[in-house]
Amino acid sequence: MTDSARIFVVEDEATQRTLLVNYLIRQEFQVTGLADGVALRRALQREEPALVLLDIGLPGEDGNSLARYLRQTHPKVAIIMVTAAGDTVDRIIGLETGADDYLPKPFEPRELLARIKSVLRRSVPAPTAAAVGGRVRMGRRVLDLEQRTLVDTDGSAERLTASEFELLKLFAENPNKPLNRDWLLEATSHREAESFDRAVDLRITRLRKKIEIDPAHPEAIKTVRGVGYVFVPPTS
């Protein structure tokens, strides 16, 4: 269930923070409002939320730095970055740090709710994946569909963000089939692609660093010019 999940809202503007907290409480989430990175770190010592709604433009430690911290210390926590309207650079950096989605200001509360529910659904292991219990070789690592991790040859595992896992799962389900860039975005983020939207490209770049022997010359996830990307399983 995505409802009643614990959400941290990190927003330094008090009025905006109160509005967001009250709105999400009315949607039956458990919500904690936090003003900055110091408050977030303290709250994380007490409990781990399902999702953090993280404003980039925070005083002191900014949202991008906090997203990196969350990815390193609480990899299971979903992250939605809130960016200034039209600030493409902030969106790109946010996705590169491992955010599951981003939302530009100003936004409608219903869009925020839809994004939150979408990310939370993707963060919960799917029954079909658990039933299959499969593993798929991808480059130098193995995708574990049940555990939602990338496994190394020595058995160590790295947990994936919701968006990373959904993307790799789509590739695993469609080997050797070129997949359209816009379709990948809509399927994994559950929103339509915007003009010059680089979200999928950035995630692919990040995933190549995790699975390719040589990310500069990818063999597992290849670019299909004018279309998107294709997953090529290893032949041996």
Taking the CA atoms of residue 65, residue 67, residue 73 and residue 78 in that order, the dihedral angle to the nearest 10 degrees is 170
Per-residue pLDDT at 1: 44
Q: What are phi and psi of 233, to 5 degrees?
A: -65, 150
Do 96 and 202 meet the contact criterion of CB atoms below 8 Å apart? yes
Q: pTM here? A: 0.60
- Give the other-Cβ count within 10 Å of 180's Cβ: 16
Per-residue pLDDT at 226: 83
Where along the chain do the CATH 3.40.50.2300 domains lie? Answer: 6-123
Bigger pLDDT: 7 vs 162: 7
Least confident among 32-46, 65-79, 159-173, 195-209: 195-209
Picking from 56, 58, 53, the residue whose alpha carbon sits closest to that of residue 89 is 56
SS3 191: coil
The CATH number of domain 6-123, selected from 3.40.50.2300, 3.40.50.920, 3.40.50.150, 3.10.580.10: 3.40.50.2300
State both tokens at 121. Answer: 């659904």
First to last CA, the chain: 40
Residue with tokens 């991790």: 149
Per-residue pLDDT at 182: 81
Where along the chain do the CATH 1.10.10.10 domains lie? Answer: 127-231
Per-residue pLDDT at 41: 93
Least confident among 87-96, 116-125, 160-169: 87-96
Do 12 and 59 meet the contact criterion of CB atoms below 8 Å apart? yes
Per-residue pLDDT at 190: 57
- Residue 18 has, within 13 A of its CA and on its CB side, a CA count of 3
**CATH assignment of 127-231?**
1.10.10.10
d(CA 36, CA 57): 10
Picking from 186, 189, 183, the residue whose alpha carbon sits closest to that of residue 163 is 189
pLDDT band at 133 (very low <50, low <70, confident <90, very high): low
- pLDDT tens for 49-59 read 999 999 988 88
